[in-house]
Structure 1
């Protein structure tokens, strides 16, 4: 593979992108700093196909990134490969207002062919290529110039290794027939709405007890105000005020600016400085949420009851068993919220009751809820058995190996499973 160490001029970048535009895929990674800023500071971009790789310095004077950005967001013929690419996609969206498409994330793909929920890049490289990555350059200051040879070599390795791993993952996906499982997940990663900065929706990320329209209206106003303050100063929003501080102020609004000195999480200076004045004005202008703005009651609030909670626990056990059996990450099959909704009697708009998820897990989950599944420990491993199959085999079974029926409610509330030593 041909390696271009560091591109700092527009002409060679344009030539590189023209060649890469003829490839089936490109692997992309970025190095950035955001510890002390609101907006991520892009410091380096790495890109590779199966023939060549390069690092591109976005801080180089006079460098025009347009050829690269056009390749990433406007060329639909080239697949863009990332690993845990959410933040990389966010940076590209901030630069262009668009997201890379089509897109493929190897961390997400690993969930379909292994039980890895969030496999790290180093583990990915070691498991597929048998290489141990030197992590020493990972936490260096990527904003400082000049970059060292070690930094550049480390950064380019991120995409050269990925260009070798990607075809192997695709081969495994084809062999298992699970490629279609990932279509919706990849489209979700590329959805621009995930990266659009909407200050008016910032309050939805803050946990706050209660559903009082006036309190939530204050929270919405405060969260939007904090976003604007943080953007204007280009500092992390937490440097303005923490989530719990905003929630506390929304629930117990101070009557005067002087009272801000008593708010936990704010310095005493807020009692008479300009930012304190702006906060108080925000509270004064805040309006209660309208009925249309009120968030829907959280699905998790659906009353499961004692029996329903037990069923939800059984569904979670079923999920673990099925994920282990087919070697897939449990989180790809189902979320805990969906299992609790199913246990509470919900049957509509549940991903586990649609498409491939229904085939590999949802159908059995329904059978469990309806008392058609049984659990047993066989040779030290938990197994599932359909009740109709169980009845035909019960006569010949060893009594100590008989499974416990998931739908049997004649005994105590807690389901009883055979101990491994007894099986």
Structure 2
């Protein structure tokens, strides 16, 4: 595979994109910093096809990323391959307002092929290619220039290895007929709502301190205020105010700004600084949530009887057995909560009772719950048997 020097100008990038646009797939990765910022700071983009690979410097003064963004978002004939691409997708969504598509995530594919749940990139490279990756450059400062050879070699390897892995995974998926299993997970990964939301919706991502309309109204106002502050200052949300402190403020609002000094998690300066004044203004202007805005009650985990709890444990054992036999990560088939609902008698709106999940696991799970399947031991080994009638 041809490895290009670091790309720092638009003309060279444009030529690379023209070639990549003729390919069936491209592999993409990024290096970024976000420990001290709200917005991730994109420091490097790596991209490869089956023939060539390059690193692109988004911090270079003479580069415009528009040709690359057009390839990733507008070019429908080229599949974009990532590994555990959630944060990479967030970065491109921030840049272009859209998510690269069509999309393929090798971590999700690996779950369907028995490589384990949320398998890391290095472990996947080792399992598929037999190559051990040097992780020494992983936590370097990617924003500092110039980047040294060790950093660039490490970064480029992320896409060159993945360009070899992807066709192998694709072949395995075709042989096993499991490509359709991934559609739901891929769609969830590419959902733009995961990356873009209005400040007024920030409270929906928090643990609710109460279900009282007045408390939730204050939480909505406070979370929106914090979101705007964090975005404006480009600081992590927790650097403004932590979630627990917001919940406390929503539950027990201070009567005056001077009372902020009594709130755990706020420093003494809040009693007379500008940000404290803005916080108090958010509280003062908060209105109780109307009935239509109240969050739907989360379905309670079913109250399992002792016998049903045992059945749930048997379902978890059955899941492990079936997943091992199928060579697939158990989490791709079912979550523990679904098994509890099934054990408690729920039969509606369970993913395991439809589609491929039903064929692989749900039918046997239902038979176990309804007494048509039993566990037994024979010569010290566990086996399952059908029960007539």
TM-score bracket relative to the smaller structure: over 0.9
**Match of 1:27, SS?**
strand
Task: Give me the TM-score of the superposition, normalised by structure 1.
Answer: 0.88
Q: Which residue of 2 aligns with 1:419?
A: none
Q: Which residue of 2 aligns with 1:344?
A: 344
Q: Which residue of 2 aligns with 1:221?
A: 221
1:126 aligns with 2:126: yes
**Match of 2:292, SS?**
coil
**Match of 2:58, SS?**
coil
1:21 aligns with 2:13: no
Contact 1:299 1:341 in 2 (8 A): no
Contact 2:301 2:340 in 1 (8 A): no
**Match of 2:43, SS?**
strand
**Distance in 2 between residues matched to 1:377 and 1:224, nearest whole Å:** 58
Shift, 1:364, TM fit: 1.6
Q: Which residue of 1 aligns with 2:207?
A: 207
**Match of 1:6, SS?**
coil
Per-residue CA deviation, residues 269-326 of structure 1 (Å, 9 max, x unaligned), is 1112111111111111112222211111112344344444333333222222221221
**Distance in 1 between residues matched to 2:278 and 2:380, nearest whole Å:** 64
C-alpha root-mean-square deviation of aligned residues, in Å?
1.6
- Comparing 216-225 with 84-93, greater Cα deviation is found at 216-225
CA, structure 1 residues 114+378, in 2 after alignment: closer, same or farther (shift >3 Å)?
Answer: farther
CA, structure 1 residues 380+173, in 2 after alignment: closer, same or farther (shift >3 Å)?
Answer: farther
Q: Which residue of 1 aligns with 2:290?
A: 290
**Distance in 1 between residues matched to 2:252 and 2:307, nearest whole Å:** 38
**Distance in 1 between residues matched to 2:273 and 2:305, nearest whole Å:** 51
Q: Which runs of 5+ in 1 are unaligned?
A: 392-423
Q: Which runs of 5+ in 2 are unaligned?
A: none
- Comparing 287-296 with 376-385, greater Cα deviation is found at 376-385
- Comparing 366-375 with 63-72, greater Cα deviation is found at 366-375
**Match of 1:375, SS?**
strand
Structure 2 counterparts to residues 1-400 of structure 1, below 5 A: 1-114=1-114, 116-378=116-378, 380-388=380-388
- Comparing 232-241 with 360-369, greater Cα deviation is found at 360-369
**Match of 2:136, SS?**
helix
Shift, 1:185, TM fit: 1.2
CA, structure 1 residues 253+383, in 2 after alignment: closer, same or farther (shift >3 Å)?
Answer: farther
**Match of 1:5, SS?**
coil
Shift, 1:378, TM fit: 4.4
Q: How many residues align?
A: 389
Shift, 1:209, TM fit: 4.1
**Match of 2:5, SS?**
strand
**Distance in 2 between residues matched to 1:244 and 1:269, nearest whole Å:** 19
CA, structure 1 residues 115+164, in 2 after alignment: closer, same or farther (shift >3 Å)?
Answer: closer
CA, structure 1 residues 5+376, in 2 after alignment: closer, same or farther (shift >3 Å)?
Answer: farther
CA, structure 1 residues 198+336, in 2 after alignment: closer, same or farther (shift >3 Å)?
Answer: farther
Contact 2:53 2:160 in 1 (8 A): yes
**Distance in 1 between residues matched to 2:343 and 2:225, nearest whole Å:** 40
- Comparing 264-273 with 336-345, greater Cα deviation is found at 336-345
CA, structure 1 residues 272+377, in 2 after alignment: closer, same or farther (shift >3 Å)?
Answer: farther
**Distance in 2 between residues matched to 1:378 and 1:133, nearest whole Å:** 44
Q: Which has the larger radius of gyration?
A: 1
Shift, 1:231, TM fit: 0.4
**Match of 1:264, SS?**
coil
Q: Which residue of 2 aligns with 1:404?
A: none
Task: Give me the TM-score of the superposition, normalised by structure 2.
Answer: 0.96
**Distance in 1 between residues matched to 2:341 and 2:203, nearest whole Å:** 25
Q: Which residue of 2 aligns with 1:420?
A: none
Contact 2:7 2:55 in 1 (8 A): yes
Shift, 1:379, TM fit: 5.4
CA, structure 1 residues 226+305, in 2 after alignment: closer, same or farther (shift >3 Å)?
Answer: farther
**Distance in 1 between residues matched to 2:53 and 2:302, nearest whole Å:** 52
